[in-house]
Structures are given as C-alpha cells and as structure tokens.
Amino acid sequence: MSETTTNPHGIAEGHPDQRPMIVLEGVSKTYPGQTIPAVAELDLAVPRGSIVMLVGPSGCGKTTTLKMMNRLIEPTTGRILLDGEDVTGVNADQLRRRIGYVIQQVGLFPHFTVGENIAVVPRMLGWDRQRIRQRVDELLELVGLHPREFRDRYPRQLSGGQQQRVGVARALAADPPVMLMDEPFGAIDPVTRERLHDEFLEIQRTVRKTICFVTHDLQEAIKLGDHIAIFTAGGRLAQYDTPEGILSRPANDFVAEFVGSGAAVRRLHLIALSTLDLDEIATGSSPTAAALVTVPLSGSVYDAVDAMLDAQTSVVAVVDDDGQAVGALRWNTLVEKLQLRGLHP
Amino acid sequence: MSVGGVPGLITVSRRRKGMRSYADLLSTPLIVLLGGAAVALWVSTRTLDDIEARALQPSAILSDLGQHLILTAYSTLFVIVIAVPLGILLSRKGARRIRNVVLAVGGFAQALPPYGVLVLIAFAPAPFGFNPFSVIMGLVAAALLPVLRNTVVGLRQVDPALIEAARGMGMSGRATLFRVELPLAVPVMMAGIRVALVLNVGTAVLATFVGGGGLGSLIVRAQTLNRPIVLVTAGAIVAALALMVDWLAGVAERLVRARTS
Amino acid sequence: MDPISYLRENVGTVLFYGEQHFLVVLCAIALGSAISIGFALLVSMDAGSQRWSLDWIVGAVREGALVVTAAALTVPSLALLVLLLPLFGLGAATTVTALTIYSLYTVLRNSVAGLSSVDASVLESAKGLGMGRLRRLIWIQFPLAWPVILNGIRVATLIDVAIAAVAALVRGPGLGQLVLTGLSRYGAANAFNQVLVGTLGCLVVAAVFEIFYAVVERLTVPRGIRV
C-alpha cells in the first residue's frame, strides 16, 4: 500500500500545498444484503483547489463515492484522507462541519429564513452573532443575492435557482476547504443552469475550494471540471483525466462510447478565443466591423462557431470586456488555426 | 393537513400493505385474549358469593349482549341508510357550499357528547321517551357524521380524469356515479362505517340509562352491587365486545379494499 | 322555564361545571400529549445508522404502540372507566386517567406521521452539514412536524371533551354532572334544561379550546411553514 502523500494518479506531490486535498485509498462499499459492491477498490486523489467531476451512468457508484467522503455512507473497506488526515475514524458530525455539502434537492430548512439557513454551521461552531451576521451578508453578496432583500426571506419565497444559490452559500458558510456537490444544478432549467455554471466558476475563482461534483451530464463536467473521473458500473474508475484528455484520448471503449460522437465539437468548448491568433479586422471592407456578429474574448471557439452558424455568417468579431473589437475569426481559416494551435499548444 | 380523528376516519396514510397489515390483523384478538385471560385468572382466584354469582350468570349476560347487538345493528343500518345517500347528494357539484359547512362542522361536532344526545332524545315527546326507539335514534344522531363525512370525502377524492373519461365514453351521470365513482369510493366509505359501528357499540353501553337495555345494564348492576369483581368483569366483557366488533369490521374493510384496489 | 332563563339563573353553577370540564380535559391532554410526543420523538429519531436490527426493533415498538393505543380508543368509555375504578377510585383521578388514555392514539399517530413526513432531502442536508441526531430532531424534525402534532392534540381534545361527559357516572367532575342530575330528575322542572345545557356546554368548552389552539398555532408555528 502506498504512503499518505503518494497518489495513484500521478498528480504532483511533495510540498504540503501540493499534497492532494482528498485521497481515497482502496475504498469499497458493499451495501447490506448485496453481494456486488457499489464501489470497488477505488483509488482517487483530488488536487487542492481544483474541481473534480465524478461522471458516469446511473448506478455507477459516483454518488456513493461522494457520500463516503463526508461519511454519509460509511465505506466497507479502505481509507479516506482529508488533507493528509485519515478521517474514517473521526466523529462524523464534526467532520461534516468541515466539508460543504450541496444536493440536487437543495434541502433548505423551510422554517428558517435564508439568513438562518446560511448560519446553521457557524451557529453549531459557536461563532458570535456579529460574526455570523457579517458572514451571512458576505456570502449572499458572493452568490449574487442582495442581503437586505433576501436575508429575511423564507425558502418558499425563492425561485429554484435562488434556492440553490442559498444552498451553495450555506455550504460555504464556515469556509470549509472542501465542497461536495451532488448534481446541484440537476433540477434547474437549462437557461438558469447555464448562468449558474458561469457564476459557480466565478465564485470558485475567488474561493479556490477543493470541489467534488457529481453529475451525469458530460457537458457540465467538461465545462466545470479541472479533472473528470468517469465511472463504470460497479464503481470502477474508467478514466481520470483532464476534460481535454477525456475528449481527445479516451482510455477505453467505455469512455469512448460515453463521450459519444461529437467529441471534436465538444472540445471546441475547451479552446479559449484568447489563445488563438486572431485575424485583423480589415477596415473598409464589407461587412464593416460595426455590422459584424460579436463574441466575447472570454468565450470559447465553440461560442464563436455557434454564433457563426446562428447568424449564417462566415466571420465574427471578437470583442474584449469593453466591447472593443480585438480581432476577427473566419470560417475558412478556423481549421488552419486549430491545426496551428495543435502544433504549438 | 388533516391527520387524526377517530381511528379509520382518514385511513389513507395509516393502512399500508405488507407486514404491518398482518400484525394489525392479529393484534386485536391477541389483546382481547390476553386481557380476557387476565380477568378470568383473577376471577378464578376468588370465590364468588351468591350475589356475584347471580350477577355474572351467563344467561343474564347473554340476554344483555343480544340486546346490545340488536341496538348496534339497527342503529348502524339506519346510519348507513341516512348518511350514504345524503353524502352522495352533498358530493355533487351543486352542493359545494353546504358540503364545506358540513365538513367543517363535522370535525367540531366530535365534541358533542353522545351521552347527552342520548338523554336529550329520550326527553323528547312521544314517540321518543325512555324506549329502544329513541335509543336507536340517539345512536344514529351520534354516529351519522363519520359516515357522511367519509362518503363525501371518498367520492370527492375519485380522480376527476376517471369521471371525465367515463362521461367521454358516453356514460350518463347516474351510470358514472354507480359504476365508477361509488365503487372507487367504497374503501373510504367502509372506513367511515367502521367508525360508526364502533361508536355505536360504545354509545349503546349508555342505552341502559334511557331504558334501552344492553350491556350497560350489566355495568349498572355491578355498580349498584358495589362488587369490584363484577364491575371489572362487566367492563372487560364490554371492552372485548367493542374490540372484536372493530376487528371484524376491520377484516371486512380489508376484504373490500383488496377487491377494489 | 325556557333554557335561556334557566341558564341566566344558574350561570354560576354552569360556569363551575364548565370550568371543571375544561380543566379535567386540559390535564388529560397535557399528560397524554407529553407521553405521546415524548414517545414519538424517541421512536422517530432519524436513525441514519446502518444498524438495521435496531431500526427494525424501533419500528416494531412504534407500530405496537399505535396498535395498542388504537385499541384503547375503541374501548367504550363507561367500560374503561369502570375498569379503572379499582385502581383509582371514584372521581377525578379515574376521569383524568381515562381521558389521558383516550388522547394517546390521536396525538401519537399525528406525531409519528408528522415527524416521519419531514422531507428526506431536508434531513440529508441537515446531516451533511454536520448536525447530530439530537440536533436534527430539535432544530429540524420537531419544528417541521409541529403543525401536524398540534392538529392531533386538537382532535384529541375534541374527543376528550365529549367523553368527559360520561365521567359523571363515576362521580367525575364536569358538565356530565348536569346531564346526570337532569336524568335523575326526569319529569321535574328544569330537568330537560339541565341536560340541554350540560350537552351543549361541551360544545362551548370545545370552542374555548379551539380558540386556545388557534392562538397557540399562531404563536408557535414558524412563519416559513405557515399555510
């Protein structure tokens, strides 16, 4: 068996800050009355400050794996290390107060106000009132809900999207280093989900948590994850890699099939426009810059292609945050640019 | 949310299939058996004097029991005859306002003591009076609401889509009522009838105070004799009867339920 | 004499019996609710353990208690009262005991139903946030179940108000005394009025309780779950 600082997946180690935040070592779970394990001999290391997406078909053990990390489900065998500490034997309630937890059904306490919901863990940790109040307002701001407007509302007075924002704020309340999220945006309509994704990434840029995120939606996994762990039935890991790696180098047939057709198109999501060598916008030519369809520089090639097809045009202008055009992308030079980028990543 | 009331009044949440229903089925006879055995054991350790022996004569008890059952049967029958058609009328669309009043008052009326109702009716002019007829009327008055209420609730909870489908197939209103709504409402109605039956067995114990006889007479005799042994035996017999009637009604209810769902 | 003038002349007596009636029911409901709710809390604690055998035993105890208390509610009031006589004697003690027994099932059933109907996702997130069993019970399960429990207490009270009238037959306190006196004076002046006032008085007592519970509900049900 390996030492605590090694990990089976070759993620950088050594310096404590480089040490993985969560390590699963030979973790199995067999439910009572069943012979086939839901999760079998799983090794997994989650790097500090990154988002790891647990993906797979239903019944693949991804949720079981997630719930073993905060011991809502007790592993049958194996060790789970949190920041180097074996947590399989510690008090489960104390452990969970150090780990944020967000679920699909949100599970806000209906008899508590939004503020009281967020304050639950700080209250259990014995923070003083002033500090709790400050923290609640800070978190509401962070998730984009105006404290004065939302603090004293009850959950039933919120929309689904707002409820899940509060759910995320509640999980972040005591500033836990780790967050576990079980299909948090699964029950939310596609438009709102898209927006929540962007906000979620924005929040993560500020808080830099170590996040495990269960989803069955590969699209979501590619968009949000720094790493993706694809599970096959029986809780085995089929591939654990970056989104790019999963899309371009599926480790086996299962992953290839799971990724399905269109992997190349999906990979366009991963190529930021800012990494391309954009064309200049020719002045005086027709159509003029002002009339061009625009996409933001922060977007991906996917967004640019989508905009082109949508407007049935062969050129889009790429604009920065101030709306200033920084370049153009043309349909007929796109493949060339991708080739070029492939050669000089 | 309205969970509560007399057992069986709203039964949807309580009666589940599986292990529980069998435990339910066996428990009442078990309780009666154990209680009966305890009382019998206690009585057998004592030697009865003449008065006690006479009071506990099987023939006397059986005659009281017979009266009691007759009172219960008639009153329950009348309750059904009155409350079911009334409930059907109240469940129709046009009766919404009266229905709501009846349902609201129905809960509150549980606080009306059957004892008082019984005596009041006996005090009314002829044909009422201290006779079995006013006893039966008193019992009917005391047990009417559960059946009425469950009939209305049972009919109202039938899926409107089913009724619409029936009408869509060309069934008349009457045919829909008899072939779709009523059969589907039967389990809930049965639960109400069971409650009424149990209420009637209990209230009939008080019939003796207004000249109606029944097992209450046994208790009153025991009380006047001031013999604890007779009193406890009388109480135990009445309790056992009520439990067994409830049990039989429960079995019947289950059979009906099994057939309709 | 008509009932109204009877009432006017005997307002003191009627109020006295009414107050007795109210108090005897209040005692029984307080006792019965304390027992039932306490028991329900014990057997409804969100286990979340993987000790299946323990869960099974707790479940069996819970179902058993429901069956036994339901059976008790089936026993006719006069029968239960005379069965309790050898133990508690004539008067208030027997009355309160019997009424307590009658209140058990309704409160217990509503408590168990209320506590177990708390949304699973709410309990899961409570657990995921690190709340222990006891804290989940006190912070989450009980407040959310409270409206259902309170409704059980309300219905049990209505049932007890009616049954308390019979207690007069074992010299219990309350409005039943008026009915009993009226009955024993059949044909005499005011006998009918006594029975009428004694019977309808129970409805007045019940109405007082209803008002009381409406106030309690207003004060104790958290705003977020008020309908």
- Return the HEC string of A180-216: EEECCCCCCCHHHHHHHHHHHHHHHHHHCCEEEEEEC
Which residues in chain B are closer than 8 Å to C32, comparing Cβ atoms? none
pLDDT value at B228 more than 70: yes
CB-based contacts of B43, cutoff 8 Å, min separation 6: B229, B233
For residue A194, count other CB atoms closer than 10 A to its CB. 14
**Cβ contacts from B onto C, under 8 A:** 161
- End-to-end Cα separation, chain A, in angstroms: 37
**Would the CB atoms of B23 and C158 count as touching at under 8 Å?**
no
Best B12, B30, B119 residue to mutate vs chain C (most C CBs within 10 Å)? B119
CB-based contacts of C60, cutoff 8 Å, min separation 6: none
**Would the CB atoms of C86 and B113 count as touching at under 8 Å?**
no
**Residue of chain C minimizing CA distance to A73:** C50
Best C46, C51, C129, C138 residue to mutate vs chain A (most A CBs within 10 Å)? C129
| DSSP codes, C113-124 | HHHHTS-HHHHH
Touching B: C residues 2-31, CB under 8 Å: none
What are the extents of the domains in chain C? 3-221
pLDDT value at A8 more than 70: no
A334 versus B77: the higher-pLDDT residue is: B77
pLDDT value at A10 more than 70: no
Quote the strand ranges of B24-79, DSSP E: none
What distance in Å separates residue A231's CA from the closest CA in chain C?
23
Strand partners, A327: A318
* Cα(C161)–Cα(C155) distance, integer angstroms: 10
Across the range B233-257, mean pLDDT stands at 89
Q: Which CATH number does B19-260 carry?
A: 1.10.3720.10
Q: What is the pLDDT of residue C52?
A: 60
Instruction: Give the H/E segment covering residue B162.
Output: helix B160-168
CB-based contact A209:A176 (threshold 8 Å): yes
B15 at interface of C, judged by CB pairs closer than 8 A:
no
**Nearest neighbour of A109 by CB, restricted to C130, C140, C223:** C140
**Nearest neighbour of B112 by CB, restricted to C81, C85, C203:** C203
**Residue of chain B minimizing CA distance to C76:** B202
What is the full per-residue pLDDT of chain C (227 aa) written as tens digits? 788 888 888 999 999 999 999 999 999 999 999 999 999 998 887 655 555 667 778 888 888 899 889 889 999 999 999 999 989 989 899 999 999 999 999 999 999 999 989 999 999 999 999 999 889 999 999 999 999 999 999 999 999 999 999 999 998 999 999 999 999 988 888 899 999 999 999 999 999 999 999 999 999 998 888 87
Q: Please list the alpha-helical segments (H only) found in chain C.
A: 3-9, 11-44, 52-74, 77-88, 92-116, 120-128, 133-135, 142-164, 176-184, 191-220
User: What's domain C3-221's superfamily in CATH?
Assistant: MetI-like (1.10.3720.10)
What distance in Å separates residue C130's CA from the closest CA in chain B?
31
**Nearest neighbour of C132 by CB, restricted to A93, A101, A156:** A93
**Residue B189 three-state SS:** helix
Which residues in chain B are closer than 8 Å to C198, comparing Cβ atoms? 116
The one-letter code for the residue type at A69 is M
CA angle A190, A64, A184 (to 5 degrees): 20
Q: Characterize the bridge pairing of strands A227-232 and A51-55.
A: parallel
**Would the CB atoms of B108 and C158 count as touching at under 8 Å?**
yes
**Would the CB atoms of B116 and C86 count as touching at under 8 Å?**
no
Residues C107-139 pLDDT 10s = 999 999 999 899 999 999 999 999 998 899 999
Q: What is the pLDDT of residue A307?
A: 87
Which residues in chain C are closer than 8 Å to B228, comparing Cβ atoms? 85-86
What distance in Å separates residue A325's CA from the closest CA in chain C?
47
Strand partners, A239: A230
Delineate the domains of chain A, giving CATH numbers in brackets: 16-98+177-268 (3.40.50.300), 272-343 (3.10.580.10)
**Residue of chain C minimizing CA distance to B8:** C70
Whether chain B lies against chain A with 3 or more Cβ pairs closer than 8 A is: no
Q: What are phi and psi of C10, to 5 degrees?
A: -115, 30
**Residue of chain C minimizing CA distance to B16:** C63
What confidence category does residue A13 fall into, taking pLDDT thresholds of 50, 70 and 90?
A: very low
Touching B: C residues 176-195, CB under 8 Å: 176, 179, 182-183, 186, 191-192, 195
* Cα(C176)–Cα(C196) distance, integer angstroms: 11
